[in-house]
Amino acid sequence: KRLALHLYEYLHDQGVRFFIEPTSASGEADLVAAQQTPEPLIADAKVFNPEKGKSVSYLARGFKQLHTYCVDFNESVGYLVIYKTCPEELKFALDDERLGTPFVMLNNKTIFFVVIDIYPHPQPASKRGTVTAIELSEEDLVSAVKHVDA
């Protein structure tokens, strides 16, 4: 919640008008923008930290949740904001990697993934050694949606 509050403050400072946790048929998205555009912003924030049980399956449930909010609000695009609070990297193994920002398209909904690294690395980059990455595949994400909806 504290990380989401920082996101809200930043967006507010940028002039974005939005609703915090508006209710839909499926629950409450973290943020829905009230922009006067054909496609307002729908975003949900999650923390990535495998040691605290917030790894691949947790992010996959977040993907399903955000996909459902896009359906509820009849929007074609959503943003899963991921706060990385651990030394491990998050590697996206996705079928379509045309853009610099990872995304998955499912049932005419496009979910973009924005990773914000807030881990306080104790060493400079030149002394950190080998990077450990945890892979999040498109199958992990899509199966979370299909498993519950089936």
Predicted TM-score (pTM) of this structure: 0.77
- 100-150, pLDDT tens digit by residue? 789 999 999 999 999 999 999 888 888 988 889 999 999 999 998 886 544
* Residue where the block lists tokens 């993907």: 63
Burial class (CB in 10 A: 0-12, 13-18, 19+), 119: middle
pLDDT in the model for residue 12: 67
**CA distances (Å), origin 42, targets 22, 67, 71, 85, 147:** 10, 10, 11, 23, 23
Look up residue 115 and give its amino acid.
Answer: V
- 64-105, pLDDT tens digit by residue? 999 998 888 888 889 999 999 999 999 999 877 666 789 999
- 18-33, pLDDT tens digit by residue? 666 666 666 666 656 6
Alpha-helix residue ranges (DSSP H) falling in the chain = 2-13, 56-72, 138-149
Look up residue 102 and give its amino acid.
Answer: P
